[in-house]
Amino acid sequence: MNAMSPTPSKAYDLNFARWVYENVDGGDRMALCMQCGTCSGSCPIGTQMDHGPRKLFMMIRAGMKDAVLSSNTLWNCVSCYNCVVRCPRQVPVTYILHDLAHVAVREGYAQAKESDNARFAKAFWWSAAKYGRTDERLVTAKYYFSFGVGEGIKRGMANQKIAMGMVKTKRMHLGMPHKVKNTGELHAILAKAAEMEAKKHGAK
Amino acid sequence: MSETTSRSRTIMVVGGGIAGITAAVEAAEAGHDVVLIEKSPSLGGRVAQMNRYFPKLCHPTCGLEINFQRIKKSKRISVFTFSEVSAVKGGPGGYTVTVKTSPRHVKANCTACGDCAKVATSEVSNAFNYGMDSVKSAYLPHVMAFPMRYVVDPSVVGTPEGEAIKAACPVGAVDLEQKDESFDLEVGAVVWATGWRPYPAANLTAYRWTDIPDVITNVEMERLASVDGPTKGKIVRPSNGEAPKRVALIQCAGSRDLNHLAYCSRICCLASMKHAAYVREQLADATVDVYYIDLRAHDKLESFLNRLKRDPQVNFVKSKPARIEKSEAGGPVVCGENTLTREVYAEPYDLVVLATGMQASLAAEGQPSFAADFDDYGFVFAEGDSIAAGVASGPLDVSMSVQSATAAACRAIRAVTA
Ligand SMILES: Cc1cc2nc3c(=O)[nH]c(=O)nc-3n(C[C@H](O)[C@H](O)[C@H](O)COP(=O)(O)OP(=O)(O)OC[C@H]3O[C@@H](n4cnc5c(N)ncnc54)[C@H](O)[C@@H]3O)c2cc1C
Ligand code: SF4
Ligand code: SF4
């Protein structure tokens, strides 16, 4: 298995298509896609994707690496699984999009750093990795402040009322963050996983 | 099979659709005794339920009528309606087949005068029209039924209505005492010609056939367009009886789908071309949108497809719709992605027709263990001792079914004369 996806020698490079078939989670089923459009038509936010899964899959087949890895389709998927349930060829669309998002992060594509969903995913993971739990309050704060201190405060103030409502109805708590019993063990497990991942893909 | 078992030269054909009828007639005319076993009250199968059929858009009487005549003339064919096979023992040349029959409650001396129906008061769902309307509890299965004999529904047995029906028959043909029966037949070969059933539209939950009345299936469309159908041949919206102005035909509804039928049903693209033609002939203002993955016109039938492509009121949209939603007025809204323009659409229609595919009847019945070998899709794998004709062997149109039936008759004859 190749560590990184191949650097394209041209805009259309079939080596990228082959790499996706072999390395991306669910990529092996992509050859079965018959371009019917059920996935993109099923997507609740399909109109807000630049390409949508069906077209993205055709772009992968055509070897358009840069266009694929900088597509907002990878980031706008909300994991509703409508497409996976309905796809007549049982292509695991959601898995493929998520794994391609990982590839885009690993390979430093701009969308992967700047998109809203990437920021939120990072904040979510920060809490999950640190405490073994997601703490609504901290995840939200972390996400807001990823846009800068000024923007963070602005967004926080704008949503204060919602936050108070959530506290009142016990949907969000104030005190210490929730965490698992033994965070030390969790951190050791994650460190090991990161080490294995790095060996597999080569860190960047 | 042991050496002492006696050999039979009789051929059994299971299923009396166009394929079973053809196999039976061919074998009989070649000099063999044939038993034809049909589950429903009449021969003719799904072809009898069509409005018209390609390639020439004939009425089903052409094709069926002549074959019914051939059966009548032949002294070698015994027809058992209301019958099914419940067990098969033995092997080629010497099978013992157990046949189960359920009562028609009308004997062979029925003249089809219809006096029984006149006194019947209750109604039962009309299977011939796929339950779109109902018939009297004493009824003729359909206008060209063969045998041309009435049926009395078991629901009236033991009721005053049943007694009235019996009394009304001028030739005493009504027999309310008939019971389920089972008997054994010795035959030398069995031809499976059990055909297909429409893939159940209720399984296609995203297409809402169960709760939006103006979403119908292609087989229902055939009945809607037929003069002997529930609307006397008028294509109307089931919700309000009005003529539709915008009609959508949705291809591959269940076919080519690993969650439903994994294979292409082969005839539904062309069946939908028929449906576009029915609409355009009846309703001058109506437009038809055909939603497709790709259009498959087999054999020499591409000209039929091209004829409709030239019609400016028939549009083709390359897209498999993702779902159908219900508008506020209760009508269907077809939603999906146009794969040529990448536009995500939501189009309201007056009538939506789902091109549901053909599922092998035997597969739907759970592949009885005594029947022949099956392929991965549930069709009979016709090789060796396993003989099949028509759609029981795979998704075929009428002319291909007839060809396969003739081939099956030849193989059955070889099996009983070997
Ligand atoms: C919407 C639609 C439109 C079509 N239009 C056309 C067309 O225009 N032209 C064309 O060429 N083809 C058309 N076809 C295809 C056509 O219907 C088939 O080719 C034809 O019905 C095949 O005949 P058959 O005898 O194999 O099966 P069937 O017609 O299904 O007959 C099978 C018979 O077997 C009986 N049976 C089933 N199970 C049992 C059992 N266990 N025991 C005893 N009897 C049993 C059934 O009651 C039935 O009478 C269309 C199909 C569809 C879905
Ligand atoms: S639904 Fe499946 S087969 Fe259809 S375009 Fe999407 S991935 Fe391809
Ligand atoms: S014949 Fe046409 S509608 Fe039917 S399954 Fe094949 S492609 Fe789909």
pLDDT tops 50 at residue A204:
no
Does B240 share its domain with B384?
no
Interface test with B, best of A38, A57, A71, A89 (most B CBs within 10 A): A38
Within a domain: B175: no
Buried b (16+ CB within 10 A) or exposed e, B333-367: bbbbbbbeebebbebebbbbbbbbbbbbbbbeeee
B46 lines ligand 1 (CB under 6 A): yes
**Closest Cβ–Cβ partner in B206, B259, B344 for A46:** B344
Pairwise CA distance, residues B291 & B314, whole Å:
11
pLDDT confidence of residue B17? 98
Q: What is the dihedral of CA B249, B250, B256, B259, to 10 degrees?
A: -140
Which residues of chain A does B319 touch, with a Cβ-Cβ cutoff of 8 Å? 36-37, 41
The answer to whether the Cβ–Cβ distance between B337 and A54 falls below 8 Å is yes
Within a domain: B144: yes
* Residue of B249, B273, B296 to mutate, ligand 3, most atoms within 8 A of C-beta: B296
pLDDT confidence of residue B2? 44
**Closest Cβ–Cβ partner in A47, A54, A88 for B339:** A54
Within a domain: B108: no
Does B187 share its domain with B45?
yes
Does B186 share its domain with B318?
no
Among the residue ranges A23-37, B339-353, B360-374, the one predicted with the least confidence is B360-374
Three-state secondary structure call for residue B84: strand
Does B329 share its domain with B217?
yes
Within a domain: B208: yes
Does B158 share its domain with B262?
no
- Paired sense of beta strands B332-337 and B94-101, if any: unpaired
pLDDT confidence of residue A1? 42
Pairwise CA distance, residues A161 & A156, whole Å:
10
Three-state secondary structure call for residue B340: coil
Average pLDDT, chain B: 96
The answer to whether the Cβ–Cβ distance between A54 and B322 falls below 8 Å is no
**Closest Cβ–Cβ partner in B206, B258, B319 for A37:** B319
Does B334 share its domain with B237?
yes
| Residues B235-259 pLDDT 10s | 999 999 999 999 999 999 999 999 9
Does B231 share its domain with B164?
no
Which residues of chain B does A46 touch, with a Cβ-Cβ cutoff of 8 Å? 337, 344
Does B231 share its domain with B328?
yes
Give the amino acid at A154: K
B106: which 2 tokens?
């009308």
CA separation (Å) from A107 to A3, A25, A180, B64?
Answer: 11, 17, 32, 67
Within a domain: B6: no
Please give the ipTM for the structure prediction. 0.88
| Residues A31-56 pLDDT 10s | 899 999 999 999 999 889 999 999 99
In this structure, which residue's CA is closest to atom 2 in ligand 2? A87
Does B252 share its domain with B290?
yes
Domains, in order of start, for chain A: 15-114 (1.10.1060), 116-198 (no CATH)
What number of other Cβ atoms are within 10 A of residue B21's Cβ? 32
Pairwise CA distance, residues B97 & B270, whole Å:
38
State the CATH number of the domain containing residue B347.
3.50.50.60
Atom of ligand 2 lying closest to residue A86 CA: 1
Interface test with A, best of B337, B347, B356 (most A CBs within 10 A): B337
Does B336 share its domain with B260?
yes
Given B338, B356, B374, which residue is the final one in a domain?
A: B356
| Residues B19-69 pLDDT 10s | 999 999 999 999 999 999 999 999 999 999 999 999 889 999 988 999 999
Pairwise CA distance, residues B10 & B187, whole Å:
5
Atom of ligand 2 lying closest to residue A35 CA: 5
pLDDT confidence of residue A3? 61
User: What's the mean pLDDT in B89-118?
Assistant: 96
Interface test with B, best of A33, A36, A81 (most B CBs within 10 A): A36
What single string gives the DSSP state of each residue in chain A? --SSPPPPSSSS-HHHHHHHHHHSTTGGGGGG-----HHHHH-TTGGGSSSHHHHHHHHHHTT-HHHHHT-THHHH-----HHHHH-TT---HHHHHHHHHHHHHHTT-HHHHHSHHHHHHHHHHHHHHHHSS--HHHHHHHHHHTT-HHHHHHHHHHTHHHHHHHHHTTSS--SSPP--S-HHHHHHHHHHHHHHHHHHH---
* B contact set with A (CB within 8 A): 206, 252, 256-260, 293, 318-323, 335-339, 342, 344
- What is the 8-class DSSP label of residue B41? S
Within a domain: B107: no
Cα(A36) to centroid of ligand 2, in Å? 5
| Residues B296-355 pLDDT 10s | 998 778 999 999 999 999 999 999 999 999 999 999 999 999 999 999 999 999 999 999
Residue B3 banded pLDDT, cuts 50, 70, 90: very low
Phi, psi of B251 (to 5 degrees): -80, 165
Within a domain: B2: no
Percent of chain A residues topping a pLDDT of 70: 97
Within a domain: B222: yes
Given B356, B372, B393, which residue is the final one in a domain?
A: B356
CB contact set of B1 (below 8 Å; sequence gap of 6+)? B90, B91, B92, B93, B94
Among the residue ranges A32-36, A116-120, A155-159, B214-218, the one predicted with the least confidence is A116-120
The answer to whether the Cβ–Cβ distance between B322 and A51 falls below 8 Å is no
Average pLDDT, chain A: 91
B358 lines ligand 3 (CB under 6 A): no
Q: Which of B330, B290, B296 is nearest to B313 (CA)?
A: B290
A37 lines ligand 2 (CB under 6 A): yes
Does B33 share its domain with B159?
no
User: What's the mean pLDDT in B187-205?
Assistant: 97
Residue A115 banded pLDDT, cuts 50, 70, 90: confident
Phi, psi of B296 (to 5 degrees): -120, 100
User: What's the mean pLDDT in B202-224?
Assistant: 98
Does B261 share its domain with B306?
yes
**Closest Cβ–Cβ partner in B259, B339, B344 for A88:** B259
The answer to whether the Cβ–Cβ distance between A38 and B320 falls below 8 Å is yes
Pairwise CA distance, residues B377 & A147, whole Å:
55
B250 lines ligand 3 (CB under 6 A): no
Domains: count for chain B: 3
pLDDT confidence of residue A202? 60
Q: Could you tell me which chain A residue has the CA closest to the CA of B257? A: A88
pLDDT tops 50 at residue A70:
yes
Pairwise CA distance, residues B361 & B368, whole Å:
11
The answer to whether the Cβ–Cβ distance between A37 and B336 falls below 8 Å is yes
The answer to whether the Cβ–Cβ distance between A36 and B293 falls below 8 Å is yes
Residue B5 banded pLDDT, cuts 50, 70, 90: low
Q: Which of B98, B99, B95 is nearest to B187 (CA)?
A: B95
pLDDT tops 80 at residue A2:
no
Q: Which domain holds residue B81?
A: 11-102+180-197+359-417
